[in-house]
């Protein structure tokens, strides 16, 4: 490809709104153009890289007999209502009506749509198992689009879905996809970390995320400094010696050695911080109370230590259903006080006690009376501890739950892939069934597997980019070779350049422009991503050679013009 014949451009001035390295390079290099907040065009250059990434994914999907489909972005509300997600999905779901007042949405994910497709065709056990995938645009109305295509509203995603006859088959399929994902990211030269993760809005039994560590990631992972434990922060456990703490509390309840609880006036202290400041105590002495209402209509009082944050994912997993904070009227009718002043001392309903509360041997809890708290509160002695759970977020410095020696440390990461074991979460409400060999009707067991293709592109630029531009690994580079004649008007340089280009035409970009300086050509070369740069210039006139530069390793080599193709092939064979 010749620059003069290609739709390819770069910006002279850096983009003003670029926050991340990939946003800066992809915008300045002309790969993407912003249309609106979180919505981007991909130029031919950007699309070439996306296509290379997609090719890797398609090849690995073919290896596990996963077949490609195309599903619509605009999807009817009826399918979402079958599973109940129309009402529970958040503001990220763009809803609208067509001219006939029928409700639709722009799909952020396709579980309902693919299930509807499969139930139309599948009837017998002989029709199973199989897997389907698509690569295409999705839309989520992100509250805060950031970092270019790292966190966009419209994005390119590969999502696959598996359909099996039973749990054993489905789990085998799950791990087949897991291994395929490992191969995909290895081929893309991305160092990702598979971590156990929450199931989130998609739901299901268990899941893993493939995390790329970067300062621009909005995910948090916890890893042990001593062993190989690693997990997403929102579901990460940490070691608490529950048996030891319970033994100490039981002993205290018997001996009554601690000071008795005492009600104190704590006016206008509805937050942990206000209460700690008023009583001049650390927040770790406060027992926070959250009164929740589950999706099935049941109530529970959840207790967490004041210096800890409750994990919604852990709590959802623990109680087995979604929940919300009870409204103020419910709280006041049951406790006789506002939310900031409720506690466990008089409540006789379900109390879920986070393990960290067991450290509070002289704690502070709400007195179920506005502007009052109890001090010197001791669990077991002053309120029942029958249900102990791990429902608080892990923090840096906590003890590893696996080795129980190392401390946990927190790192930023970006989710590039996610695999879910769904079970029958979608097949049951949507009646995706099959008739088994014994003539009984059974639900199809499903899995779901996603990769953010456009986000992968940004992550590759984060890894391989620098202050000047980016050099892509050969397998996904838009062009593997970038040929730069320093002066295309010079007869010898032009003749040699076009000879080299004719030998490498299928994999190279030739900068044949004669109206810009060599410096501008070199600057564009840095942005346009080829891992091999060939410079035809002064060295040709002095020594009859050209310079080949490996942009990934910074290695430079002087080579006779006749041997350029040989050297390029040698490099590519070694790196592909």
Taking only the tens place, the pLDDT of each residue in 458-504 is 999 999 999 999 999 999 999 999 999 999 999 999 999 999 999 99
Residue 563, domain CATH: 3.40.50.800
Phi and psi for 521 in degrees, rounded to 5? -65, -45
Please check whether residues 335 and 372 belong to one and the same domain.
Answer: yes
Please check whether residues 200 and 333 belong to one and the same domain.
Answer: no
Residue 448, domain CATH: 3.30.930.10
The Cα–Cα gap between 497 and 513 comes to 12
One DSSP character per residue, 305-344 reads: ETTS-B-HHHHHHHHTS-EEEPPHHHHHHHHSS-GGG--S
Please check whether residues 145 and 168 belong to one and the same domain.
Answer: yes
Domain membership of residue 15 (yes or no) is no
Please check whether residues 336 and 449 belong to one and the same domain.
Answer: no
Segment 306-320 shows an average pLDDT of: 93
HEC string for 474-522:
HHHCCCCEEEEECCCCCHHHHHHHHHHHHHCHHHEEECCCCCCCHHHHH
Domain membership of residue 142 (yes or no) is yes
Phi and psi for 572 in degrees, rounded to 5? -65, -40
Give the model's pLDDT for residue 204. 55
Domain limits for position 275: 242-389
Domain membership of residue 143 (yes or no) is yes
Dihedral of CA atoms 198, 200, 203, 207 in degrees, nearest 10, equals: -30
Please check whether residues 250 and 368 belong to one and the same domain.
Answer: yes
Residue 319, domain CATH: 3.90.960.10
Integer CA distances (angstroms), 486 to 181, 448, 544, in order: 43, 51, 15
pLDDT tens profile 52-63? 999 999 999 999
Please check whether residues 329 and 358 belong to one and the same domain.
Answer: yes
pLDDT tens profile 235-276? 999 999 999 999 999 998 888 877 899 999 999 999 999 999
Q: Which two tokens stand for residue 390?
A: 């791990």
Please check whether residues 166 and 63 belong to one and the same domain.
Answer: yes
Domain membership of residue 186 (yes or no) is yes
Q: Which helix (H) or strand (E) is 81 found in, with range?
A: helix 77-83
Q: Are 15 and 24 in contact (CB under 8 A)?
A: yes
Instruction: Please say which residue of 360, 389, 418 terminates a domain.
Output: 389
Segment 544-565 shows an average pLDDT of: 93
Give the model's pLDDT for residue 163. 98
pLDDT tens profile 410-426? 999 999 999 999 999 99
The answer, yes or no, to whether residue 203 has pLDDT greater than 60, is no
Domain membership of residue 98 (yes or no) is no
Q: What is the DSSP letter of 562?
A: G
Q: Are 469 and 496 in contact (CB under 8 A)?
A: no
Strands 299-305 and 262-265: unpaired
Please check whether residues 251 and 229 belong to one and the same domain.
Answer: no
pLDDT tens profile 143-182? 889 899 999 999 999 999 999 999 999 999 999 999 999 9
Domain membership of residue 345 (yes or no) is yes
Domain membership of residue 402 (yes or no) is no
Give the model's pLDDT for residue 217. 84
Please check whether residues 300 and 361 belong to one and the same domain.
Answer: yes
In total, the chain counts a number of residues equal to: 576
62 C-beta neighbours (distance < 10 Å), count? 11
Domain membership of residue 230 (yes or no) is yes
Q: Report the domain count for the chain.
A: 3
Give the whole-number percent of the chain exceeding pLDDT 70: 98
Please check whether residues 164 and 115 belong to one and the same domain.
Answer: yes
Please check whether residues 229 and 268 belong to one and the same domain.
Answer: no
- Among 14-23, 155-164, 554-563, the minimum mean pLDDT is found in 14-23
Please check whether residues 264 and 329 belong to one and the same domain.
Answer: yes
The Cα–Cα gap between 276 and 366 comes to 13
């Amino acid at each position: 490809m010749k620059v003069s014949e290609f739709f390819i451009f770069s910006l002279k001035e850096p983009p003003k709104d670029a926050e991340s390295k990939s946003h800066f390079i992809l915008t300045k290099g002309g790969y993407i153009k912003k249309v609106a907040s979180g919505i981007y065009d991909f130029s031919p250059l950007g699309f070439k890289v996306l296509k290379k990434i997609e090719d890797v994914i398609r090849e690995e999907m073919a290896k596990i007999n996963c077949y490609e489909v195309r599903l619509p972005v605009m999807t009817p509300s009826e399918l979402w209502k079958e599973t109940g997600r129309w009402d529970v999905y958040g503001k990220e779901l763009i809803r609208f009506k067509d001219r006939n007042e029928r409700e639709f949405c722009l799909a952020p994910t396709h579980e309902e749509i693919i299930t509807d497709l499969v139930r139309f065709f599948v009837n017998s056990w002989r029709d199973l198992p199989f897997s389907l995938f698509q690569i295409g645009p999705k839309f989520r109305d992100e509250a805060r689009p950031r970092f270019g295509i790292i966190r966009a509203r419209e994005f390119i995603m590969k999502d696959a879905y598996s359909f099996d006859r039973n749990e054993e088959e489905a789990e085998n399929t799950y791990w087949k996809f897991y291994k395929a994902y490992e191969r995909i990211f290895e081929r893309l030269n991305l160092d990702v970390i598979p971590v156990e993760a929450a199931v989130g809005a998609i739901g299901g039994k268990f899941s893993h995320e493939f995390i790329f560590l970067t300062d621009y990631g909005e995910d948090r992972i916890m890893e042990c400094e001593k062993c190989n434990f690693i997990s997403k922060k929102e579901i990460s456990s940490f070691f608490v010696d529950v048996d030891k703490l319970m033994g100490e509390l039981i002993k205290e309840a018997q001996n009554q050695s601690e000071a008795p609880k005492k009600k104190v006036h704590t006016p206008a202290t509805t937050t942990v911080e206000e209460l700690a400041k008023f009583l001049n105590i650390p927040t770790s002495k406060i027992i926070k109370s959250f009164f929740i209402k589950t999706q099935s209509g049941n109530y529970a009082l959840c207790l967490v230590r004041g210096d800890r944050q409750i994990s919604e994912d852990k709590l959802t997993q623990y109680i087995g259903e979604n929940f919300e904070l009870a409204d103020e009227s419910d709280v006041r009718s049951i406790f006789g006080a506002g939310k900031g002043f409720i506690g466990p001392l008089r409540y006789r309903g379900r109390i879920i006690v986070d393990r960290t509360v067991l450290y509070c041997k002289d704690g502070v809890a709400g007195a179920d009376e506005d502007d009052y708290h109890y001090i010197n509160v001791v669990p077991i002695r002053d309120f029942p501890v029958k249900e102990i759970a791990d429902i608080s977020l892990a923090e840096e410095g906590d003890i590893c739950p696996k080795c129980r020696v190392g401390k946990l440390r927190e790192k930023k990461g970006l989710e590039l892939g996610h695999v879910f074991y769904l079970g029958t979460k979608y097949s049951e409400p949507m009646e995706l069934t099959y008739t088994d060999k014994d003539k009984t009707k059974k639900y199809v067991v499903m899995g779901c597997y996603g990769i953010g293709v456009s986000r992968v592109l940004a992550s590759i630029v984060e890894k391989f980019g620098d202050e000047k531009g980016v050099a892509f690994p050969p397998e996904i580079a838009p062009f593997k070779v970038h040929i730069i004649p320093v002066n295309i008007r010079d007869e010898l340089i032009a003749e040699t350049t076009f000879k080299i280009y004719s030998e490498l035409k299928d994999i190279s970009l030739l900068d044949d422009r004669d109206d810009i300086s060599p410096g501008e050509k070199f600057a564009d070369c840095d942005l346009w991503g080829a891992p091999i740069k060939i410079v035809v210039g002064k060295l040709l006139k002095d020594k009859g050679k050209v310079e080949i530069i490996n942009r990934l390793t910074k290695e430079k080599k002087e080579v006779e013009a006749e041997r350029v193709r040989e050297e390029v092939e040698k490099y590519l064979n070694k790196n592909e």
